[in-house]
Amino acid sequence: MDCNAAARLVAIFLFSPSCRLISLPQPLSPTGFVWDRHWMVINSKGRGCTQRVEPKLAMVQVELPLEAFSLGWKPNNSSYLVVRAPGMAELKVSLAKPCLLSDGVSVWEWSGSAWDEGDEAARWFTDYLGKPSRLVRFNEESETRPINPHYASGFNVKFTDLSPFHLISEASLDAVNEQLKEPISINRFRPNIFVNGCESFAEDLWKQIKINDSTFQNVMLCPRCKIPNINQEDGKHGSEPTATMMKFRSYKVLEVNTVTTQYRGRVYIGQMLVCEDSKGKIVSVGDIIEVESVFPSYADVAV
């Protein structure tokens, strides 16, 4: 495997809330791409809802104004997050700071307060999901959510699962699709950074890379939950690609270094990243991926 083959960034994806992909050039921030994972749907107990428990979220589409992706841009009263879904009227959520706070919001191990996007958004998601739901925004003014120190110390995220950035190569997706009866799209794996020009799974061993003068470090191989098995077009759940990938992308097959037992029994594709020097930086489609260092083998890669 040639881990140093020249690669290039071919797409940037955002997620807001736990719904479909948005592909746009992006400024960086210490917690990930600007506007990425700012929003989350919560249930009546304040617990975050994702496609794992609400597959219908796969069919929710969101749109942000193009100017929102300029460095230093600030929202005003006419700036909106637009939310759409089959059978639902369009929802407009103001990007100006909300007035309400929801306490006791939780996702995975974290709990705290979040901005509440109001009753109109709550009714929209309640009607769509068929159960009491609200839309909340991460409260950057008073809350922080540190990454698990087992993997990276001193970095924070918003409503992301594990780390601020997630990278997969096109060749890796192609290698998975070669084993499947029905090919799947990259949206099943939900990366932020999609690259091409390298060999399949070469990114597994990238220890440190640079994109447009910003340095990214490997946190861990990405353990896959059941979201890749959800068809992002209709929200239906199946057994693929996980069933097939278990034959060649499990931790036992790869013989990776399992720091904890939490992710044993998973399949792996893509890597989780942190960025050391994100302030004021932008990455764009077409940027070269400079591989600065690699791991000697899978035994040196943490999961």
Question: pLDDT tens, 30-59?
Answer: 899 988 999 999 999 999 999 999 999 999
The domain boundary, picked from 92, 108, 138, lies at 138
Are residue 248 and residue 165 in the same domain, yes or no?
A: yes
Asked if 244 and 179 count as a contact pair (C-beta separation under 8 A), the reply is yes
Is the pLDDT reported for residue 3 higher than 60? no
Domain residues for 226?
A: 7-15+148-300
Which pLDDT value is given to residue 231? 94
**Of the candidate ranges 69-73, 154-158, 175-179, 242-246, the one whose mean pLDDT is the lowest:** 69-73
| pLDDT tens per residue across span 64-115 | 998 888 888 899 889 999 999 999 999 999 999 888 999 999 998 899 999 9
The answer to whether residue 295 is domain-embedded is yes
Are residue 175 and residue 56 in the same domain, yes or no?
A: no
The answer to whether residue 26 is domain-embedded is no
Are residue 102 and residue 162 in the same domain, yes or no?
A: no
Are residue 156 and residue 251 in the same domain, yes or no?
A: yes
Are residue 124 and residue 184 in the same domain, yes or no?
A: no
Are residue 134 and residue 155 in the same domain, yes or no?
A: no
Are residue 281 and residue 161 in the same domain, yes or no?
A: yes
Q: What's this model's pTM, rounded to 2 decimal places?
A: 0.92
Which residues have C-beta within 8 Å of that of residue 150, sequence separation ≥ 6? 259, 260, 302
Which has more confidence, 260 or 192? 192
The domain boundary, picked from 138, 163, 189, lies at 138
**How high does pLDDT run on average in the chain?**
91
Are residue 48 and residue 161 in the same domain, yes or no?
A: no
Is the pLDDT reported for residue 1 higher than 60? no
Which has the closest alpha carbon to 233: 87, 10, 55? Answer: 55
Which has the closest alpha carbon to 33: 191, 144, 186, 171? Answer: 191
| pLDDT tens per residue across span 268-291 | 999 999 998 888 899 999 999 999
Are residue 112 and residue 207 in the same domain, yes or no?
A: no
Is the pLDDT reported for residue 161 higher than 90? no
Split into its structural domains, the chain has a count of: 2
The domain boundary, picked from 116, 138, 160, lies at 138
Are residue 152 and residue 292 in the same domain, yes or no?
A: yes
Are residue 157 and residue 82 in the same domain, yes or no?
A: no
Which pLDDT value is given to residue 92? 97
Are residue 293 and residue 213 in the same domain, yes or no?
A: yes
Share of the chain above pLDDT 90, in %: 73
Which pLDDT value is given to residue 18? 61
The answer to whether residue 199 is domain-embedded is yes
The answer to whether residue 28 is domain-embedded is no
For residue 196, what are its two tokens? 């091409």
